[in-house]
Structure 1
Amino acid sequence: MENTIVILRLKHLKFLLIASLSLNLFAAIFFAKKLYVKYNASIETIEKKSDTTTTYWLKRNQLFEVLPKDKNTIVFLGNSLTQHFELAELFKNLNIRNRGINGDVIPAVIKRLSPITESCPKKIFIEIGINDLGRGAPKDTVIKNYEKLLERLQTECGSTRLFVQSIFPVANKSKTMAEYCSPKLNADIKFINQHLKEYSSLHDITFLDFHDSFVTDGELNPKFSVDGVHLTGEAYLLWTELLKPYVND
């Protein structure tokens, strides 16, 4: 009788242990998912709302203003895709300066050119435009603003070699970046890229058409992004290889 009671108690304890472990595991998974969603939402908020009046933009721009100026450098100018690019490490070049700001748009980039044009670096690589489109700017407006950006750089830094990188494709749909991801947006991106290519050829600017290297079936290859816009590590490695001939030249 006592053995039966002991066995029943052991089975009961085993059941409680399994139940407790299951609940803890469920809680951990739930918390991790909640944290992931919260983190992604914070990135998305920056992408949607960042402009020249936000604390985030002002802090990063202020940093750029006080950093040492050096004409013997290579500057990468852009939005979050550029900011998240570990340039110096991937190119093994400490003369590369990352001047990307999450959520940046072309008009905001124009406003923060002075710290760059003060020194006029050897090369400037530009990657910008997707946030303008994602926030509803017409493609003609994006083109007009892009031309203003390039005109100012050429006026103030005539000896600097300019490299315009094609705007990256996006996914045709996305749960977290819906307004950035659609077939129409991809069509606008291709239209703008074609115009930038033609403009560059007429103004002694090098246009780097990397767009198709990241596309499959007319949209951003899923293996290159987790949300339809931002790039994975594999995408950055490919981007690095495509850039090497121009950075190292």
Structure 2
Amino acid sequence: MNSLFNKTLVLFGLILTISYGSVQAQAVKWDSTYRPANFPKKVAEFKADVKSKSDVVFLGNSITAGTDWAKLLDLPQAKNRGISGDISFGVLERLQDVIDGKPAKIFVLIGINDISRNIPDTVILANYKKIIARIRKGSKKTKIYFNTLLPVNSSFGAFKNHYHKDEHILWLNDEIRKLSAKNVTIIDLYPNFTDNDKHLKAELTKDGLHLIPAGYQVWAEFLKKGGYLN
């Protein structure tokens, strides 16, 4: 009988510890102010970079930062605006510099680090909508492309805070797909990277989170075949 009460449940952002009939609520800790150590340096570099209305901006975290988009896509106007470790709040903080450049296109992939830091899914989704609204307001001609989150693969054991949170990835991806109603083009990357167990394909990653060149080639081919770069 006692075993029924020795459980920890996560519900609506609270950890409910139930023990012998008593209920204790403990808030799940998360921090919107976290920024990676190299954040100021990267932001300064981005601000100093020459901007053009023909730019195609790739905005995100280390998964975006991990390749040379101009070379990968044979697209000289492609600009990498990825910062390793960044979260959606960081993207919002540095978004104005991107908007001010009035780029032709912005491709967004952000959220997996938010999940790893226990930022609630609904908060992440609200930030997605803020990103879209701010771009729409500040650069009306810019085309917005939102990527679904990539899966992860826990068999590598390198990023334990990112693993075993598949339900969050799936929920956010479902919500990202609905953003098409906001005149946003959705790029559904997720199915292209999953194995039969719905994990990130081992042959496309070095650590269960980040992509190797073969992974970026899959991404590039999907963008090209889908006509997203035209």
Same fold (TM over 0.5): yes
Helix, strand or coil at the partner of 1:125:
strand
Higher strand fraction (1 or 2): 2
Residues 14-29 of structure 1 mapped to structure 2, 5 A cutoff: none
1:203 to 182, 202, 208: 182
DSSP 3-state at the match of 1:169? coil
Question: In the alignment, residue 184 of structure 2 is paired with which amino acid?
Answer: I
The one-letter code sitting in structure 1 at the alignment partner of 2:177 is: K
Give yes or no for the alignment of 1:231 onto 2:218: no
Is the alpha carbon distance of 1:146 and 1:101 closer, same or farther for their aligned partners in structure 2, counting shifts above 3 Å?
same
Give 1 or 2 for the bigger CA radius of gyration.
Answer: 1
Matched residue, 1:19:
none
- Selected match of 1:190 from 131, 145, 170: 170
Relative to structure 1, the CA distance from residue 191 to residue 55 in structure 2 (aligned partners, 3 Å threshold; closer, same or farther) is closer
> Which of 144, 157, 169 does residue 126 from structure 2 map onto?
144
Is the CA contact (8 Å cut-off) linking 1:69 and 1:115 kept in structure 2? Answer: no
Structure 1 segments (4+ residues) deviating >6 Å = none
Aligned position for 1:97: 79
SS, match of residue 203 in structure 2:
helix
1:52 Cα deviation (Å)?
6.4
- Distance apart, 1:160 and its partner CA: 0.6
Distance 2:39 2:221 in 1: 29
Would you say 1:159 and 2:141 are equivalent positions?
A: yes
Structure 1: state its 5+ residue gaps: 1-48
Whole-angstrom CA distance in 1 between matches of 2:220 and 2:106 = 15
CA contact (8 A) 1:164 1:205 kept: yes
Which one-letter code corresponds to 2:210 in the other structure? H
**1:1-249, aligned counterparts within 5 Å?**
54-182=36-164, 185-198=165-178, 200-216=179-195, 217-244=197-224, 245-249=226-230
Count of aligned pairs: 197
Q: In the superposition, relative to structure 1, how do residues 56 and 210 fare at CA in structure 2: closer, same or farther (>3 Å)?
A: same
Q: CA deviation at 1:54?
A: 5.0
1:79-117: CA deviation from partner (whole Å, max 9, x where unpaired): 001111221111111111111100110010111012211
Q: Which has the higher helix share?
A: 1
Q: Which moved more, 1:79-88 or 1:164-173?
A: 164-173
Identical positions, percent = 29
What letter is aligned with 2:100?
A: E
Q: Distance in 2 between matches of 1:53 and 1:105?
A: 8
Report Cα offsets for 1:24-80 as digits up to 9, x if no partner: xxxxxxxxxxxxxxxxxxxxxxxxx9x765541100100111111211111110100
Task: Measure how far apart 1:201 and its partner are.
Answer: 2.0
Q: In 2, are the aligned partners of 1:224 and 1:234 still within 8 Å (CA)?
A: yes
Kept in 2: contact 1:171–1:228 (CA 8 A): yes
User: What is the RMSD computed on CA atoms of the aligned residues?
Assistant: 1.7
Contact 1:173 1:181 in 2 (8 A): no
TM-score (norm 2): 0.81
Q: 2:36, 2:86 within 8 Å by CA — same for their partners in 1?
A: no
